Amino acid sequence: MLVMVLRSVVLRWLAATVVALLASSNAGVTLEQSLTLTALLAAGGVAGAAIGGWLALRSNKTRRESSRYTRRFKSVSSMRPSAAALSRWPIAQALAWARPENSRLLLLVAILTVPAGIGPIAAVGMLASWAIVSYLGALLVAAPLVARAATDWLRSTPISFSAFAWPFARRQLLHQLGGTFVGVGVMVMAGAEPLTATYVGAVWLALVALVTAISLADCYRARSPLAKITLSLVAVLFAEQREHGWGIALAVLLTALYLRGGRRHACA
Protein backbone atom coordinates (compact mmCIF):
# COMPACT_ATOMS: atom_id res chain seq x y z
CA MET A 1 0.00 0.00 0.00
CA LEU A 2 2.88 2.34 0.93
CA VAL A 3 4.52 1.69 -2.47
CA MET A 4 1.26 2.52 -4.23
CA VAL A 5 0.91 5.79 -2.33
CA LEU A 6 4.54 6.77 -3.00
CA ARG A 7 4.24 5.92 -6.69
CA SER A 8 1.11 8.04 -6.99
CA VAL A 9 2.77 10.99 -5.20
CA VAL A 10 5.93 10.83 -7.32
CA LEU A 11 3.97 10.61 -10.58
CA ARG A 12 1.83 13.59 -9.67
CA TRP A 13 4.85 15.57 -8.56
CA LEU A 14 6.63 14.81 -11.85
CA ALA A 15 3.58 15.94 -13.78
CA ALA A 16 3.43 19.16 -11.77
CA THR A 17 7.16 19.74 -12.34
CA VAL A 18 6.75 19.36 -16.09
CA VAL A 19 3.88 21.85 -16.01
CA ALA A 20 5.95 24.27 -13.91
CA LEU A 21 8.94 23.99 -16.22
CA LEU A 22 6.76 24.54 -19.27
CA ALA A 23 5.30 27.55 -17.52
CA SER A 24 8.82 28.90 -16.86
CA SER A 25 9.40 28.96 -20.60
CA ASN A 26 6.65 31.55 -20.73
CA ALA A 27 7.99 35.08 -20.69
CA GLY A 28 5.90 36.12 -17.69
CA VAL A 29 7.14 33.42 -15.26
CA THR A 30 10.65 33.28 -13.83
CA LEU A 31 12.53 30.04 -13.19
CA GLU A 32 12.65 30.89 -9.50
CA GLN A 33 8.85 31.11 -9.37
CA SER A 34 8.57 27.78 -11.17
CA LEU A 35 10.95 26.05 -8.76
CA THR A 36 9.11 27.53 -5.77
CA LEU A 37 5.83 26.21 -7.14
CA THR A 38 7.38 22.77 -7.74
CA ALA A 39 8.81 22.67 -4.21
CA LEU A 40 5.46 23.67 -2.72
CA LEU A 41 3.70 20.99 -4.73
CA ALA A 42 6.20 18.38 -3.54
CA ALA A 43 5.77 19.45 0.09
CA GLY A 44 1.98 19.40 -0.25
CA GLY A 45 2.07 15.98 -1.88
CA VAL A 46 4.23 14.49 0.88
CA ALA A 47 2.10 16.03 3.64
CA GLY A 48 -1.14 14.94 1.93
CA ALA A 49 0.13 11.41 1.37
CA ALA A 50 1.22 11.14 5.00
CA ILE A 51 -2.14 12.33 6.32
CA GLY A 52 -4.10 10.22 3.82
CA GLY A 53 -2.06 7.12 4.59
CA TRP A 54 -2.46 7.63 8.32
CA LEU A 55 -6.23 8.05 7.98
CA ALA A 56 -6.51 4.96 5.78
CA LEU A 57 -4.50 2.82 8.20
CA ARG A 58 -6.45 4.20 11.15
CA SER A 59 -9.83 3.49 9.60
CA ASN A 60 -8.68 -0.02 8.64
CA LYS A 61 -8.26 -0.85 12.30
CA THR A 62 -11.84 0.01 13.18
CA ARG A 63 -13.52 -0.63 9.86
CA ARG A 64 -16.85 -2.37 9.95
CA GLU A 65 -19.27 -2.64 7.14
CA SER A 66 -21.72 0.23 7.37
CA SER A 67 -24.76 1.30 5.44
CA ARG A 68 -24.10 2.62 1.98
CA TYR A 69 -26.55 5.41 2.51
CA THR A 70 -26.12 6.87 5.96
CA ARG A 71 -23.25 8.13 7.99
CA ARG A 72 -22.13 6.07 10.96
CA PHE A 73 -23.16 7.18 14.39
CA LYS A 74 -20.65 7.32 17.18
CA SER A 75 -20.96 4.15 19.23
CA VAL A 76 -21.05 4.24 23.01
CA SER A 77 -18.65 2.17 25.01
CA SER A 78 -21.25 0.78 27.40
CA MET A 79 -24.70 -0.34 26.36
CA ARG A 80 -27.73 0.79 28.27
CA PRO A 81 -31.42 1.25 27.47
CA SER A 82 -31.75 4.42 25.43
CA ALA A 83 -34.11 6.08 22.98
CA ALA A 84 -31.36 8.11 21.31
CA ALA A 85 -31.38 5.92 18.21
CA LEU A 86 -35.14 6.24 17.93
CA SER A 87 -34.79 10.00 17.62
CA ARG A 88 -32.09 9.63 14.95
CA TRP A 89 -34.08 7.20 12.84
CA PRO A 90 -36.20 9.73 10.85
CA ILE A 91 -33.09 11.81 10.18
CA ALA A 92 -31.20 8.72 9.03
CA GLN A 93 -34.09 7.98 6.67
CA ALA A 94 -34.05 11.51 5.23
CA LEU A 95 -30.29 11.27 4.73
CA ALA A 96 -30.68 7.85 3.14
CA TRP A 97 -33.04 9.39 0.59
CA ALA A 98 -30.41 12.05 -0.10
CA ARG A 99 -28.05 9.45 -1.55
CA PRO A 100 -26.14 10.65 -4.64
CA GLU A 101 -28.35 8.97 -7.25
CA ASN A 102 -31.33 10.98 -5.96
CA SER A 103 -29.51 14.19 -5.04
CA ARG A 104 -27.97 14.60 -8.47
CA LEU A 105 -31.44 14.88 -10.03
CA LEU A 106 -32.48 17.44 -7.46
CA LEU A 107 -29.26 19.35 -8.03
CA LEU A 108 -29.91 19.38 -11.76
CA VAL A 109 -33.41 20.78 -11.24
CA ALA A 110 -32.05 23.32 -8.75
CA ILE A 111 -29.36 24.48 -11.17
CA LEU A 112 -31.92 24.90 -13.94
CA THR A 113 -33.97 27.21 -11.73
CA VAL A 114 -31.08 29.61 -11.22
CA PRO A 115 -31.78 32.53 -13.56
CA ALA A 116 -29.05 33.69 -15.90
CA GLY A 117 -27.19 36.84 -15.02
CA ILE A 118 -27.41 36.69 -11.23
CA GLY A 119 -24.29 36.89 -9.10
CA PRO A 120 -22.49 33.82 -7.70
CA ILE A 121 -23.56 34.53 -4.11
CA ALA A 122 -27.22 34.74 -5.10
CA ALA A 123 -26.87 31.53 -7.11
CA VAL A 124 -25.27 29.70 -4.21
CA GLY A 125 -28.02 31.09 -1.95
CA MET A 126 -30.66 29.64 -4.27
CA LEU A 127 -28.97 26.24 -4.32
CA ALA A 128 -28.68 26.32 -0.52
CA SER A 129 -32.40 27.12 -0.28
CA TRP A 130 -33.12 24.10 -2.47
CA ALA A 131 -31.02 21.92 -0.21
CA ILE A 132 -32.80 23.17 2.94
CA VAL A 133 -36.27 22.81 1.45
CA SER A 134 -35.58 19.31 0.14
CA TYR A 135 -34.14 18.19 3.48
CA LEU A 136 -37.08 19.57 5.46
CA GLY A 137 -39.50 18.04 2.97
CA ALA A 138 -37.78 14.66 3.18
CA LEU A 139 -37.88 14.85 6.97
CA LEU A 140 -41.61 15.56 6.89
CA VAL A 141 -42.28 12.63 4.54
CA ALA A 142 -40.07 10.40 6.69
CA ALA A 143 -42.19 11.05 9.80
CA PRO A 144 -45.18 8.81 8.94
CA LEU A 145 -43.10 6.17 7.18
CA VAL A 146 -40.57 5.76 9.96
CA ALA A 147 -43.26 6.00 12.66
CA ARG A 148 -45.00 3.08 10.96
CA ALA A 149 -41.80 1.03 10.76
CA ALA A 150 -40.88 1.83 14.38
CA THR A 151 -44.28 0.94 15.82
CA ASP A 152 -44.40 -2.27 13.77
CA TRP A 153 -41.03 -3.22 15.17
CA LEU A 154 -41.88 -2.31 18.77
CA ARG A 155 -45.45 -3.66 18.66
CA SER A 156 -44.67 -6.66 20.87
CA THR A 157 -43.19 -4.49 23.64
CA PRO A 158 -45.11 -2.66 26.37
CA ILE A 159 -43.76 0.78 25.37
CA SER A 160 -46.11 3.63 26.28
CA PHE A 161 -47.11 6.38 23.86
CA SER A 162 -45.18 9.09 25.66
CA ALA A 163 -42.07 6.90 25.96
CA PHE A 164 -42.27 6.37 22.21
CA ALA A 165 -43.52 9.69 20.85
CA TRP A 166 -41.27 12.27 22.47
CA PRO A 167 -37.92 10.58 21.73
CA PHE A 168 -39.11 9.84 18.21
CA ALA A 169 -40.18 13.42 17.47
CA ARG A 170 -37.62 15.41 19.47
CA ARG A 171 -34.63 15.51 17.16
CA GLN A 172 -36.50 15.81 13.87
CA LEU A 173 -38.56 18.70 15.25
CA LEU A 174 -35.31 20.41 16.30
CA HIS A 175 -33.99 19.96 12.77
CA GLN A 176 -37.23 21.34 11.36
CA LEU A 177 -37.03 24.32 13.69
CA GLY A 178 -33.41 25.05 12.84
CA GLY A 179 -33.97 24.54 9.13
CA THR A 180 -36.99 26.84 9.18
CA PHE A 181 -35.00 29.57 10.93
CA VAL A 182 -32.29 29.32 8.29
CA GLY A 183 -34.91 29.25 5.53
CA VAL A 184 -36.58 32.38 6.91
CA GLY A 185 -33.17 34.07 7.07
CA VAL A 186 -32.41 33.16 3.46
CA MET A 187 -35.83 34.48 2.37
CA VAL A 188 -35.18 37.79 4.13
CA MET A 189 -31.72 38.05 2.58
CA ALA A 190 -33.27 37.35 -0.82
CA GLY A 191 -35.50 40.38 -0.36
CA ALA A 192 -38.68 39.00 1.24
CA GLU A 193 -40.47 41.02 3.93
CA PRO A 194 -39.37 39.73 7.39
CA LEU A 195 -43.00 39.44 8.47
CA THR A 196 -43.94 37.45 5.38
CA ALA A 197 -40.94 35.17 5.78
CA THR A 198 -41.76 34.58 9.45
CA TYR A 199 -45.37 33.84 8.56
CA VAL A 200 -44.32 31.22 5.97
CA GLY A 201 -42.02 29.66 8.55
CA ALA A 202 -44.81 29.53 11.13
CA VAL A 203 -47.21 27.87 8.69
CA TRP A 204 -44.57 25.29 7.81
CA LEU A 205 -43.84 24.48 11.46
CA ALA A 206 -47.57 24.14 12.20
CA LEU A 207 -47.91 21.65 9.34
CA VAL A 208 -44.85 19.74 10.54
CA ALA A 209 -46.25 19.48 14.07
CA LEU A 210 -49.61 18.31 12.73
CA VAL A 211 -48.18 15.63 10.41
CA THR A 212 -45.85 14.36 13.11
CA ALA A 213 -48.63 14.16 15.71
CA ILE A 214 -51.00 12.28 13.38
CA SER A 215 -48.20 9.91 12.34
CA LEU A 216 -47.27 9.13 15.92
CA ALA A 217 -50.81 8.70 17.23
CA ASP A 218 -52.14 6.61 14.35
CA CYS A 219 -49.10 4.42 13.87
CA TYR A 220 -49.01 3.74 17.62
CA ARG A 221 -52.62 2.58 17.36
CA ALA A 222 -51.75 0.42 14.31
CA ARG A 223 -53.75 2.60 11.93
CA SER A 224 -52.68 4.15 8.68
CA PRO A 225 -52.24 7.93 9.11
CA LEU A 226 -52.32 8.86 5.42
CA ALA A 227 -56.04 9.69 5.02
CA LYS A 228 -56.06 11.69 8.25
CA ILE A 229 -52.90 13.59 7.24
CA THR A 230 -54.38 14.44 3.83
CA LEU A 231 -57.71 15.63 5.23
CA SER A 232 -56.08 17.62 8.03
CA LEU A 233 -53.65 19.34 5.67
CA VAL A 234 -56.48 20.28 3.31
CA ALA A 235 -58.54 21.65 6.22
CA VAL A 236 -55.61 23.64 7.64
CA LEU A 237 -54.62 25.13 4.28
CA PHE A 238 -58.23 25.99 3.49
CA ALA A 239 -58.65 27.73 6.85
CA GLU A 240 -55.38 29.57 6.35
CA GLN A 241 -56.51 30.74 2.94
CA ARG A 242 -59.74 32.09 4.42
CA GLU A 243 -58.00 34.05 7.15
CA HIS A 244 -54.32 34.34 8.06
CA GLY A 245 -53.66 32.58 11.36
CA TRP A 246 -56.78 30.41 11.38
CA GLY A 247 -55.00 27.51 9.72
CA ILE A 248 -52.12 27.73 12.19
CA ALA A 249 -54.56 27.77 15.12
CA LEU A 250 -56.45 24.80 13.67
CA ALA A 251 -53.19 22.88 13.18
CA VAL A 252 -52.18 23.51 16.79
CA LEU A 253 -55.61 22.39 18.02
CA LEU A 254 -55.58 19.22 15.90
CA THR A 255 -52.01 18.43 17.00
CA ALA A 256 -53.06 18.59 20.65
CA LEU A 257 -56.14 16.44 19.99
CA TYR A 258 -54.21 13.75 18.12
CA LEU A 259 -51.50 13.60 20.76
CA ARG A 260 -54.16 13.28 23.44
CA GLY A 261 -55.77 10.44 21.47
CA GLY A 262 -52.46 8.62 21.24
CA ARG A 263 -51.74 9.07 24.95
CA ARG A 264 -55.13 7.61 25.88
CA HIS A 265 -54.36 4.41 24.00
CA ALA A 266 -53.08 1.94 26.59
CA CYS A 267 -50.35 0.09 24.72
CA ALA A 268 -49.05 -0.30 21.19
Partner 1 sequence: MHVLEIENLHARYGHHEVLKGVTLRVDRGEWFCLLGPNGVGKSTLLHCIAGRLEAASGAVRISGESLATAAAAAKSNLGYAGAPDFLPGLLTGRQCLEVYALAKGLDAIDTEVLELADALRFTPFLDGFVDTYSLGTRQKLCVLLALLGEPELVVLDEAFNGLDPRSALVLKRALHERLSAKRCGILLATHSLDIVEHHADAAALLLDGVIAERWSNDDIERLRALGGDALEAALASAAASV
Q: Which residues bind partner 1 (CB under 8 A)?
A: 64-67, 70, 72-73, 75-76, 79-86, 88-89, 92-93, 96, 149-150, 152-160, 163-164, 222, 266-268
Collect all residues with Cβ–Cβ distance below 8 Å to 6 and sequence separation of at least 6: 49
| Amino acid identity, position 207 | L
DSSP letters along 98-123, please? T-HHHHHHHHHHHHHHSPTT--HHHH
Contact 130, 101 (CB under 8 A): no
Cβ closest to partner 1, residue 32 vs residue 65? 65
Task: Report how far residue 155's alpha carbon sits from residue 101's, in angstroms, rounded to the nearest whole number.
Answer: 34
Task: Report how far residue 50's alpha carbon sits from residue 61's, in angstroms, rounded to the nearest whole number.
Answer: 17
Compute the least distance from the CB of residue 137 to partner 1, in Å: 19
Task: Report how far residue 226's alpha carbon sits from residue 214's, in angstroms, rounded to the nearest whole number.
Answer: 9
Cβ closest to partner 1, residue 4 vs residue 79? 79
Compute the least distance from the CB of residue 149 to partner 1, in Å: 6
Cβ closest to partner 1, residue 84 vs residue 105? 84
Compute the least distance from the CB of residue 262 to partner 1, in Å: 15
Cβ closest to partner 1, residue 49 vs residue 149? 149
Cβ closest to partner 1, residue 135 vs residue 204? 135
Compute the least distance from the CB of residue 39 to partner 1, in Å: 44
Compute the least distance from the CB of residue 80 to partner 1, in Å: 6
Compute the least distance from the CB of residue 4 to partner 1, in Å: 27
Compute the least distance from the CB of residue 223 to partner 1, in Å: 11
Residue 220: count of CB within 10 angstroms of its CB:
27
Residue 266: count of CB within 10 angstroms of its CB:
7
Cα–chain-centroid distance for residue 84?
18
Cβ closest to partner 1, residue 66 vs residue 224? 66
Cβ closest to partner 1, residue 207 vs residue 268? 268
Task: Report how far residue 66's alpha carbon sits from residue 236's, in angstroms, rounded to the nearest whole number.
Answer: 41
Q: How many CA atoms lie within 13 A of 188 on its CB side?
A: 13
Cβ closest to partner 1, residue 66 vs residue 113? 66
Compute the least distance from the CB of residue 258 to partner 1, in Å: 21
Contact 241, 247 (CB under 8 A): yes
Crossing angle for the helix pair 194-220 and 246-264, nearest 10 degrees? Answer: 20
